[in-house]
Structure 1
Amino acid sequence: MQLAQTGQALGASYRFGERVGSGAAGEVWTVTSTEGRTFAAKILRPEHADDPSLVERFVRERSVLLGLQGSNIVTVRDMVVEGSRLAIVMDYVAGGSLREVVKDVGPLRPADALTVAAEVFDALASAHSKGITHRDIKPDNVLLDQPWPQWSPGDVRVSDFGIADVVGERIRETTGLIGTPQYMPPELISRGRSGPAGDVYSTGVLLYELLAGRTPFAGPGPDFSVAYRHVSSRPPRIPVDDELWAVLDGLLSKDPVGRPTAPEAAAKLRRLAPRLADQAPLPRGEAPTEFDEIERPATLVRGAFSDADLTDLASPPAEGVSTVVPELGEAGNATIARPMPRRELSSRSESAAAAEPVETPFWRTRKALLLAGTAVLLLVAMVVGFVVLAPSGKKADTAVAAERLSTQVAGTAMPTGLSISRSASFEPSSGKVRLTLAYAAQKAPLSGDFLEVIPGLAEADGCPVVTWEGAAVSRNQASITGLDVECGWKLSDLEVPAGGSVEVSAEVAVAPADQQAFDQWLRAGAEATAAAAQDPDVKGTAYPAQRLMGVEVRTPARVVTPSPLKITLLPVWAGGADELNPLYVSPASGRPSQMLTAVTGGEEGLRFSDGCGGALAVDSSGLTVTALQITPQCTVRASVGNFTELQSPAFSITSRESSGE
């Protein structure tokens, strides 16, 4: 994955500014749009971008996150999927986070703490009404429009809605945890899941921290101990007004049903705040070393630990017995998204028995049983692997041609100017096919990733073993590219010159029975590749040289003279125009998008021209257009690589005086 750098383009609409922070999900940068506006962009970490299930979740959540609006919510403005880079573009909030306030200021005046928490609940109420749960409320994710000394009610903004859902879906599906140990609701620890009531609990922890200068369960022990106290311990009482403590205690209820909803919590805090207006902040206190336990702690993440395991984890280990404690994260206030695998733990009854040494034959020990079980599994895996991976050409009951065969399929030009010709030869002595793919371009150079489907000889056959030469090749991942096709391969970093061609070859472990079967096999691969590239249901920007069907030229309906004309080039896939991922925006900032480079070779293959008889001026580069003369109807023409006869819908050019009337 390419690292972000200042001045580098992010998609076609943004340019990186400076790095302003980082977290578990990724880095945060300022970005500048083509209109000159400053936003914040969260660039998901490479390990997340390489996770197919996460990328699929990212794309699926796009419309939900873009539609989440609220006065106390940091609005998501755009979501960029560009190659292996995933970015969430949102409003830039310049006043810092509550984490900095807690660190620099310490405990807040109760009235201020209640006002801030009420606005967090307002944001949650808006999100919960749309079915969106935050899952990681903490001071780091609560931002302020103005720095704390200048802060006023209305300045609270909650960020990172949906990030935990995007990053954590796969974790939760494998009985794991996502969240921050000091702010985790007990049901997340006990059942591995939480909902809107979990957000209410985490905000209760946040309010406690704003009042006391520390979270309720901070104290000695590793991060697991901090997280487990949410399940097993009562929050230590702090010296606040009785009514305030009653509200806070309700927010921190172990039972999700016992907590108020977000709107109810906001209303309670606002009713209480005026009565506490004259109260001073509490002194910052030290975290307690001991906690009052509740009577029946819940089970930790069902499916990962049993009740007996939990008892061992929560109790001091018996003498001579080591207990493996799960590691949740680097620190109690750091977000974690980590699977919780089953651990082998000794129960207290086993520990007591261990005090009286008993000679046990090795074959009956746990270690021997595990070794035996592992051996059986390996044997089964070897047998299954041999059956599954055995090349189809080696089947004893399958007829194989006895003479050399050859076949070819000529390619027809695609809208981008790409054509793919396929030729293949079969050598009986090797039992394999030699396949050659020739990629040719017309007016514009083509580059990037190319899709190739190499099927088995028959529909019932699995995908054959393929050994590639002449390109960097990997399996097509449907969750990343959006193309769900069997036996698909991604050929990367190819560069096809304008008017020229390049070849890639492969050795394929198939053995056709005769010429007809050989012809049918090669034709089936070509047809499957074309069908996948032209699937109207596929979203995303993968394989643009094969999938781009056209380009739409968009302009504002009216432009004021004299000023630059904003022109947006939208890629048109089989399913229609893609407004979320522009191909190019003029006037441009930063580097051109990867899509534009893939189908035109860069800005060199792009030109605009006047479509209304002198009313527009085009600079010497052919990339920036300025409105010069007033006219009721005008168009701009464009040439984009192999797409040479493009024209925008009509727009008008007016003067500043007439536009203001």
Structure 2
Amino acid sequence: MQLAQTGQALGASYRFGERVGSGAVGEVWTVTASDDRILAAKVLRPEHADDASLVERFVRERSVLLGLQDSSIVTVRDMVVEGARLAIVMDYVAGGSLRDVVREAGTLRPADALGVTAEVLDALAFAHTRGVTHRDIKPDNVLLARPWTGWTPGDVRVSDFGISDVVGERVRQTTGLIGTPQYMPPELISQGRSGPPGDVYSTGVLLYELLAGRTPFAGPGTDFSVAYRHVSAHPPRIPVDDGLWDVLAGLLSKDPAERPTAAEAAATLRRLALRLAASAPLAPGEAPADFDDVDRPATVVRGAFTDAELAALASSPPADDSTEVPRLGEAGNATIVRSLPRRDVRPVAGTRLEPADALPFWRTRKALLLAGTAVLLLVGMVVGFVVLSPAERPAASAGAGAPLSAQTQDTALPTGLTISRAAAYEPSSGRIRLTLTYAAQKAPLSGEFLEVVPGMAEGEACPAVSWEGAPAKRNQASITGLDVVCGWTLSDLQVPAGGSVQVTASVSAQPADQQALDAWLRGGSEATSAATQDPAVPGTAYPVQRLTGVEVRTPARVVTPSPLKITLIPVWAGGPDELNPLYVSPASGKPSQMFTAVAGGEDGVRFSDGCGGALAVDSSGLTVTALQITPECTVRATVGNFTELQSPGFGITSREDANG
């Protein structure tokens, strides 16, 4: 059944163009926005839209999905609820998918496969720090910014985070599975659950496929046979470098606890890609007929399958099409959404198909029941239509007696810090629970952080706040140099690279409605950003939030052979601060707190030769020596999240030339 038609309106600001894809969850269409931008819309199938709890979750997830902003993720622009139609509107990525690449190329060069997969893992690492799991990683959901001619850094865009997260909640409520058999992590089959380690496993399957031209457990049998091999069989060895196979085996470990995190895996793959830059692609191979079984395969979870299906599976492990085992979907590489009734509800004998001359949907008993349910729901809450035109969007509101929640996420700062804020108001307590999530990218971040907790209304006194998770005190302008109203200093925070920490606060404030809570949370975020990015503020306080860049300085002329003095100058919103350098090499004494806060100490800085062998860098990467005479040389540096730094040019002369 087609869910839309070319030229048909979607909400108030979009019009359908062409259908560009279809799957078990919905259809993908191009849509033209009111400003003539071409975007994409994934329209969910009606079976996912006729459940009031799903619609409510869909609306609640909106702010989370809209906040998932990363260069490796397809940006979700809006979400539409229009009658029985639910749609997620996102950027249109025109370069095709990795599925197209695999279909045309067969196998990729190891360096290309590793580079692409590392960017997929970057996207997953970003999402995982924000509590979002994809749950359906496969080549179809990895898009490319431009048509494939070989891997180009920055081209990867992972799509469909929102679909699996929204629909997956409903699947969990009814017991069942969502995913793709050839890419399902074993714990999804054996335990009915999947989290961030499951995403890493599916990415391992994707990497295997890019290298071998097939997934590890593809072969004879049904789609369930393929899925069950993830639990019961070892992945067949392919003829790749031993180091690469070890990494693949780690990604495909049956035990989620033994897999690396997405961030760890991405870093490992990039190191491997450099070593395997000259390796040629493998010849595509056939799937094996038999698989090497593990010693003790996990038991398939009850609840994901019926008792009859489990009995058939236990008596005859899936091997071929003649075995009576469950069927999951159309094919092993197609997403399936399998929902089964709750155990305490009498199962329906079968699905009744409507005859061709059946009554219109709006006159059926099901439609009337749904309409009645909608009326009851509207008594307790206002859901409304989520449309895209600001002029026509109904203001979301709730009475002061109803629980309220709101979320915001700031853009990542140059240091790699991202701050997410969530506010939950419970009328019975008369307080707001504010949760701050601090996430880091490539370098660990630490020290003091500023957070503004404003009054509920403009001009209102600062509210009383009690903090958990970090020592907190009022910001002292005389010490920090930031004169900000309702500012707090959170101390001793340690945010690991690729990870996050949370701090919570109980705030004595009572929003009148949803709009007031949204404005309050947004106001705190904006006030914090304004204070930390004020160019008029001097000093080195709150470096993780205030540092905007790093300059690499050297003398204009160096005598060989001698150590090169390198000074790292912090750059604030007001400009470079030469009086308070971050680091000086060769170093003496203990690194400054500011340097440790933004780079994790000396482990976070590395220098390299920028002039073709004229400089020598010691094994620590911290001391550079001028070796060869050259009129023009530079030194490169990485400092925490600041990469690809380079000094201005300088000359290297001999001691005789210098004396002459």
Normalised TM-score (structure 1):
0.54
SS at match of 1:264: helix
Relative distance call for 1:235 and 1:3 in structure 2 (3 A) is closer
1:126 corresponds in structure 2 to: 126
The CA deviation string for residues 398-421 of structure 1, in whole angstroms up to 9 with x for no partner, is xxxxxxxxxxxxxxxxxxxxxxxx
The whole-number CA distance in structure 2 between the counterparts of 1:305 and 1:196 is 27
Q: Return 5+ residue gaps in structure 1 as ranges.
A: 344-373, 379-448, 451-467, 486-531, 545-552, 555-567, 577-661
Amino acid at match of 2:261: T
Matching residue of 1:329 = 329
The 3 A distance-change label for structure 1 pair 483 and 123 is: farther
Q: Which residue matches 1:571?
A: 394
Q: What is residue 85 of structure 2 aligned with on the other side?
A: 85
Task: Please say if residues 122 and 263 of structure 1, whose CA atoms lie closer than 8 Å, have aligned partners that are also in contact.
Answer: yes
Supply the distance in 1 between the matched residues of 2:246 and 2:160 (Cα, whole angstroms). 30
- 1:287 corresponds to 2:287: yes
Structure 2 unmatched runs, 5+: 350-360, 400-660
> Secondary structure of the residue that 2:368 maps to in structure 1?
strand
**Alpha-carbon distance in structure 2 between the residues aligned to 1:477 and 1:203:** 42
Give distance in 1, aligned partners of 2:149 and 2:185: 31
Matched, 1:311 2:314: yes
Q: Does 1:263 align with 2:263?
A: yes
Q: Deviation at 1:575?
A: 4.5
Partner of 2:161: 161
Alignment-mate amino acid for residue 251 of structure 2: L
Superposition deviation, residue 151 in structure 1: 4.7
- Cα gap change, 1:25/1:268 in structure 2, threshold over 3 Å: closer, same or farther? same
Amino acid at match of 2:205: V
Does the C-alpha gap of structure 1 residues 244 and 89 become closer, same or farther in structure 2, counting only changes over 3 Å?
same
Name the aligned partner's letter for residue 193 of structure 1: R
Q: How far did residue 477 of structure 1 move? A: 5.3
| 2:368 paired residue number | 474
Q: Residue 95 of structure 1 aligns with which residue?
A: 95
Cα distance change of structure 1 residues 14 and 331 upon mapping to structure 2, 3 Å threshold: same
Contact map agreement 1:26 1:44 (CA 8 A) in 2: yes
Deviation at 1:482, TM superposition (A): 7.7
Deviation per CA, 1:234-261: give whole Å up to 9, x if none. 0000000000000000000000000000
Identity of aligned residues (%): 72
Superposed CA offset, 1:470-511 (max 9, x none): x997135587x48526xxxxxxxxxxxxxxxxxxxxxxxxxx
Larger Rg: 1
C-alpha separation in 2, matches of 1:30 and 1:67? 22
1:39–1:91 CA contact under 8 A, matched in 2: yes
Cα distance in 1 between the residues matched to 2:177 and 2:221: 19
The residue type equivalent to 2:369 in the other structure is R
Secondary structure of the corresponding residue to residue 149 of structure 1: coil
| Cα distance change, pair 473–327 in 1 and its aligned pair in 2 (3 A) | closer
Q: Deviations over 1:254-287 (max 9, x none)?
A: 0000000000000000111011000000000000
> Quick one: distance in 1 between partners of 2:122 and 2:367?
49
Match of 1:65 in 2: 65
The Cα shift of 1:172 comes to: 2.5
State the 1:63 CA deviation.
1.4
Distance in 1, Cα, partners of 2:319 & 2:236:
22
| Separation in 2, partners of 1:81, 1:262 | 33
Question: Who is 1:634 aligned against?
Answer: none
Shift of 1:69: 0.9
Aligned-partner SS, 1:216: coil
Give the aligned partner of residue 182 of structure 1. Answer: 182
1:340-368 alpha-carbon deviations (Å, 9 max, x no partner): 5799xxxxxxxxxxxxxxxxxxxxxxxxx
Aligned position for 2:545: none
Q: Distance in 1 between matches of 2:135 and 2:259?
A: 16
CA 70–49 in structure 1, closer or farther in 2 if over 3 Å, else same: same
Distance 2:375 2:148 in 1: 45
Q: Which residue of the partner structure matches residue 438 of structure 1?
A: none
Instruction: Report the CA distance between 1:312 and its aligned residue.
Output: 1.3
Structure 1 residue 572 displacement after superposition: 4.7
| Cα pair distance change 1:219/1:64, threshold 3 Å | same
Equivalent residue number for residue 14 of structure 2: 14
Residues in 1 aligned to 2:257 and 2:211: alpha-carbon distance in whole angstroms: 25
Correspondence for 1:44: 44
The 3 A distance-change label for structure 1 pair 207 and 482 is: farther
- Specify the code of the residue in structure 2 equivalent to 1:283: A
Kindly indicate whether the alpha-carbon contact (under 8 Å) linking 2:112 and 2:151 is maintained by their aligned counterparts in 1: no
Distance 2:122 2:397 in 1: 42
**Residues 154-190 of structure 1 deviation map (CA, whole Å, 9 limit, x = unaligned):** 1000000021122232322333111100000000000
Q: 1:341 to 1:224 in 2, by over 3 A?
A: farther
Identify if the C-alpha distance between structure 1 residues 472 and 54 changes in structure 2 by more than 3 Å, giving closer, same or farther.
closer
Q: 5 Å matches for 1:233-382? A: 233-303=233-303, 304=305, 310-314=313-317, 324-339=324-339
Alignment of 1:181-220 (within 5 A): 181-220=181-220
Residue 433 of structure 2 is aligned to residue 540 of structure 1: no
Q: Is the contact between residue 3 and residue 43 of structure 2 (CA under 8 Å) also seen in structure 1?
A: no
2 CA distance for matches of 1:195 and 1:219? 26
Query: 1:54-74: CA deviations, max 9, x gaps?
Result: 323322211111111111000
Aligned-partner Cα distance in 2 for 1:84–1:102? 36
For 1:30, the equivalent position in structure 2 comes to 30
Q: How does 1:561-640 map to 2 (within 5 A)?
A: 568-572=391-395, 575=398
Give aligned pairs, total. 380
CA distance in 2, matches of 1:222, 1:323: 9
- Contact in 1 for aligned 2:192/2:301 (Cα 8 Å): yes
Query: Structure 1 residues 167, 570: CA separation in 2 closer, same or farther (over 3 Å shift)?
Result: closer
> CA distance change for structure 1 residues 150 and 273 in 2, over 3 Å: closer, same or farther?
closer
Cα distance in 2 between the residues matched to 1:473 and 1:236: 51
Cα contact 1:76–1:89 (8 A) shared by 2:
yes
Whole-angstrom distance in 2 between the partners of 1:187 and 1:57: 25
Contact 1:233/1:292 (8 A) holds in 2: yes
* CA shift in 2, pair 1:204/1:574, >3 Å: closer
Structure 1 contact 118–269 (Cα < 8 Å) conserved: yes
SS of aligned partner of 2:394: strand
What SS does the corresponding residue of 2:316 show, helix, strand or coil?
Answer: helix
2: CA distance between counterparts of 1:114 and 1:315? 32
Secondary structure at the aligned position of 1:18 is classed as: strand
| Distance across 1 between alignment mates of 2:199 and 2:19 | 28
Q: Relative contact order (alpha carbons < 8 A, sep ≥ 6): 1 or 2 greater?
A: 1
> Within 1, Cα distance between the matches of 2:4 and 2:331?
27
